[in-house]
């Protein structure tokens, strides 16, 4: 049995009591132990993922109880060769869907031997923002819609597409069913189930507008956990595509022309927005985001200008506008939020290759801490 079919048929009965997705604060990992585990981390590009495995003689279920480790930063573009040691600090634990049993995946961030965060460690700065008492009191919730494209391994072209050619035009592929509409669903379904097993609050998956493009949603998740969960979900997806022999692309515009790009729409709310009268808080927050539009765009992913053209369900990168139920806006407010006078909004600007630590913390900093 291949790992893909194995994951699709993965028995979740032993972790069913852990899959309490509506419980936003539920991690419930304390009953799990580990013997072997993977340390996952972000590489020198800020987007690539790296990992190394380690074995411990006894169980560990708290990241603070895991040992720090190190790696050769000169091989990842994160340290010079004459002083190459980079320190890994465990930050979050997830069940390992590949090794299973008591094995775990560990999300780490990286520091110099002197204890300073290295430049690509965006988690450290995000944690400082989320630990600010004003931000913590607002309990910021996030739901991130991660779009991605599955590419043929040997050529830079989507799976299911004729090499050098095109499928039929967009229209039948979004949430589509059928061999001529949905490509590599086995990869998508195995990833979905693996994330559930890992303890990630993955709330759904769907086929996207461009064929071979898919989306999964992480959340609702609170504060820094949104970034931890999305990075581990990306790591799991990379591992599955590795086995499947396809390549994962987070390029925001993988195919030029009349094809949709790939984003990471970020849904957001605070306690004040979720309470009565929250709609006014939402409008004030959106006004703040508009005033810092250029700063956010600069931090929302590489190559985003190829995606945010004003076409294909985007607003032009040079403008900021918001609207109710408007998918061509920079920020969209849902009809239910407008009707109920409270709720959340969706920032549609982040690219598929954005760093969730940067985007989530920046939204919180602008809407809660920043004083225009």
In this predicted model, what pLDDT tens digit does every residue of 63-98 receive, in sequence order? 998 888 887 776 776 766 556 778 889 999 999 999
Of 143, 121, 126, 129, the residue nearest 264 (C-alpha): 143
Which distant-in-sequence residues (6+ apart) come within 8 Å of 214 by Cβ? 147, 148, 149, 150, 184, 188, 205, 206, 207, 208
| Same domain? 80 vs 220 | no
Q: Are 222 and 277 in contact (CB under 8 A)?
A: no
* Whether 155 contacts 161, CB under 8 Å: no
Report pTM: 0.90
Collapse the DSSP code of 223 into the 3-class scheme (helix H, G, I; strand E, B; otherwise coil) and give the result.
coil
Q: Which of 22, 25, 7 is nearest to 97 (CA)?
A: 7
Do 139 and 266 share a structural domain?
Answer: yes
Together in a domain, 69 and 177: no
Q: In terms of domains, do 217 and 159 share one?
A: yes
Residue 13 located in a structural domain: no
330 and 356 inside one domain: yes
CA angle 202, 203, 206 (to 5 degrees): 100
Asked if residue 77 lies in contact with residue 84, where contact means CB atoms within 8 angstroms, the answer is no
Q: Percent of the chain having pLDDT more than 90?
A: 71
Using one digit for the tens of pLDDT, what is the confidence trace for 288-334?
Answer: 999 999 999 999 999 999 999 999 999 999 999 999 999 899 999 99
Residue-range definition of the domain harbouring residue 60: 32-120
Q: Are residues 83 and 195 in the same domain?
A: no
- Flag whether 2 is in a domain: no
User: Within 9-140, where are the H helices?
Assistant: 122-130, 133-138
Domain count, the chain: 2
Of 237, 53, 78, 257, nearest to 165 by C-alpha is 257
């Amino acid at each position: 049995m291949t790992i893909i079919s194995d994951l699709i048929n993965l028995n979740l009965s032993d972790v069913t009591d852990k899959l309490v997705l509506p419980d936003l604060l539920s991690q419930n990992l304390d009953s799990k132990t580990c013997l072997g585990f993977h340390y996952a981390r972000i590489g020198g590009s800020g987007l690539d993922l790296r990992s190394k495995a380690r074995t411990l003689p006894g169980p560990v279920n708290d990241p603070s109880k895991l040992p720090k480790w190190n790696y050769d930063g000169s091989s990842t573009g994160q340290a010079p060769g004459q002083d190459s040691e980079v320190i890994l600090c465990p930050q979050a634990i997830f069940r390992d869907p590949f090794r299973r049993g008591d094995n775990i995946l560990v999300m780490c961030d990286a520091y110099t031997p002197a204890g300073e965060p290295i430049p690509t460690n965006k988690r450290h700065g995000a944690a400082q923002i989320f630990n600010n008492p004003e931000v913590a009191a607002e309990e910021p919730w996030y739901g991130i819609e991660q779009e991605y494209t599955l590419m043929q391994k040997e050529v830079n072209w989507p799976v299911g597409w004729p090499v050098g050619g095109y499928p039929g035009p967009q229209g039948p592929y979004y949430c589509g069913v059928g061999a001529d509409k949905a490509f590599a669903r086995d990869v998508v379904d195995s990833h979905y189930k693996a994330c559930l097993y890992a303890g990630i609050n993955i709330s759904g998956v769907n086929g996207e507008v461009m064929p071979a493009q898919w989306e999964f949603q992480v959340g609702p998740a609170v504060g820094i956990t949104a970034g931890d969960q999305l990075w581990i979900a990306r790591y799991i997806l990379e591992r599955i595509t590795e086995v499947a022999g396809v390549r994962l692309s987070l390029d925001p515009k993988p195919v030029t022309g009349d094809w949709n790009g790939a984003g990471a729409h970020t849904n957001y709310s605070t306690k004040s927005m979720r309470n009565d009268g929250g709609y006014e808080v939402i409008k004030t927050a959106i006004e703040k985001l508009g005033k810092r539009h250029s700063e956010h765009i600069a931090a929302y992913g590489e190559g985003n200008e190829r995606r945010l053209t004003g076409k294909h369900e985007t607003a032009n990168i040079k403008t900021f506008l918001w609207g109710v139920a408007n998918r061509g806006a920079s920020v969209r407010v849902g009809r239910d939020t407008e009707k109920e006078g409270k709720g959340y909004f969706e920032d549609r600007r982040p690219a598929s290759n954005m760093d969730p630590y940067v985007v989530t913390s920046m939204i919180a900093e602008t809407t809660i801490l920043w004083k225009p």
